[in-house]
Amino acid sequence: MKKFLALLIAAVMTVSVMTVVIIAYAQPGNDGNVTVSYAAKDDITIDGEIEDGEWPDKSSLTLTSDNLVGWFAGVYEGPIVFNTAWNDDGLYLCAVIKDTAVAFAETDLGTRFQIALNPGNIIAGSYMGLFFSFCPIKGSDNVALYRHNWQVTNDQKDATNEAGYDGKYSVLYEAGTVAGWSMECIIPWSMIASADRTADLNTTNTPLTEFDPSEEGAICTAMICYVPCDAANNVTATGKTGGDGWTVSSYDITLMFEAEKAATSDTESESMTEPEESESVSEPEESGSVTDAEESESVTEPEESETETDPQESETEPEETGKETVDIKDKSDVNGDGGVDNKDVVFLFRYASSGNHTAEEDVKYDVNSDGEVNNKDVVELFRYVSTLVS
């Protein structure tokens, strides 16, 4: 917790240390791309107190007046350090928020952190996404949840007591004075891959229930807002990502869901290494004459492995690997600016999400060469660009 608070205060004093990538206006994250790490169910405790190592660093996003715009009562300066993760239970969110004058409402919408989501980029560009408001409640550690834009009879609904939701907050202090607040919440998938939102989604009326974060290439575009209020519940400033727009076409944060196997592969590889090491230090080496016999047998095995068949196979694999690398490289500059970077990822994402495809462009932008252009190509290109950056 101390580490997070120190990061928050340092960000206010020297915003220059925070990395901000600029495309047109200061877009948050890595050109808007944010990895949503997979978290085991015991990794995160929803208590409002953010412990060291509890949330993955690679899923962190910093918001300041450089990448927030105001729409009422002046621009909120920030910073907000935002983080996210997921598992089968839902989408986990945390935020450490600088707000020295924070005031909490007793029951209704007051000071609030907000996020709008377009799961799977299903909702059509001229409509609002699923909008959530997280409101710290005075006199408790509870974070109330309101949901908006479901286009049903009750367009604003208190969803605090719905199954699967949980949210807590803590007040942050520095030198005995209020510095802001932190929150940890989980939105259950039943609210995101929602059967309730059925109106005007897209031209094919694909239901949001089709969204599955565990699918390869799963994404969710997003917009983040913050509305601080005073003790009388008056709005004192506002800040949002996405420029001046409110529809999903202006959402400039892309949450890219990490596969469960990607999060656990390091642990699995370590567990497989240990038996190999224990076998290599096996007792037969100490048994003298037995070792000689085993060595004489093992001599014939390398001779067999040196036959023409094995070298041909070993040569084939590098050739295939090289071919794949060349294919991706040849198709990686999708925006045609002569370089390969996250701008190409954003360009490809927008093309894949649009309904304006041509056969010629599909061949050009089919990065993974599977015969179609979709979010899998975006993820493939994002991973390739990440190897260039690293």
The reported pLDDT for the residue numbered 141 is 94
Average the pLDDT over 36-40 and give the result: 92
At 177 the pLDDT is 92
What is the rounded distance in angstroms from the CA atom of residue 1 to the CA atom of residue 231?
A: 26
What phi-psi label fits residue 95: left (phi over 0), alpha (psi between -120 and 50 degrees) or beta? beta
**CATH 2.60.40.1190 domain extents, the chain:** 2-260
Residue 27, classified by CB atoms within 10 Å of its CB into exposed (0-12), middle (13-18) or buried (19+), is: buried
Span 324-336, pLDDT tens digits: 444 687 888 888 8
- Is the model more confident about 191 or about 326? 191
pLDDT band of 45, cuts 50, 70, 90: very high
Rounded Cα–Cα distance for residues 72 and 235 (Å): 8
Architecture of domain 310-390: Orthogonal Bundle (1.10)
Least confident of 14-18, 26-30, 184-188, 269-273: 14-18
Q: What DSSP letter does each residue of 351-362 carry, written as one string? A: HHHSS---HHHH
Tell me the range of 161-170, 279-288, 358-367 where mean pLDDT is highest: 161-170
Query: Residue 333, class by beta-carbon neighbours within 10 Å (0-12 exposed, 13-18 middle, 19+ buried)?
Result: middle
The CATH architecture to which 2-260 belongs is Sandwich (2.60)
23, β-bridge pairs: 25
- The pairing of beta strand 33-38 with beta strand 80-87: parallel
Of 4-18, 131-145, 181-195, 346-360, give the lowest mean pLDDT range.
Answer: 4-18
User: Does residue 293 register a pLDDT over 70?
Assistant: no
Residue 290 in this model has a pLDDT that exceeds 60: no
And the tokens for 331?
A: 């198709």
pLDDT for the residue numbered 95: 95
Contact (Cβ atoms closer than 8 angstroms) between residue 229 and residue 111: yes
Residue span(s) of the chain under CATH 1.10.1330.10 come to 310-390
The stretch 178-182 carries a mean pLDDT of 93
In this model, does residue 26 exceed pLDDT 60?
Answer: no
Highest average pLDDT, of 105-109, 161-165, 262-266, comes from 161-165
Helix (H, G, I), strand (E, B) or coil at 78: coil
Question: What is the residue-averaged pLDDT of the chain?
Answer: 75
Residue 201: pLDDT band (50, 70, 90) is low
Q: Taking the CA atoms of 346, 92, 139 and 170 in sequence, report the sign of the dihedral they define.
A: negative
Q: Which has more pLDDT, 329 or 117?
A: 117
Calculate Rg over the CA atoms of the chain. Answer: 25
Return d(Cα 268, Cα 43) in angstroms, integer.
17
- Can the peptide bond before residue 79 be classed as cis, meaning omega within 30 degrees of 0? yes
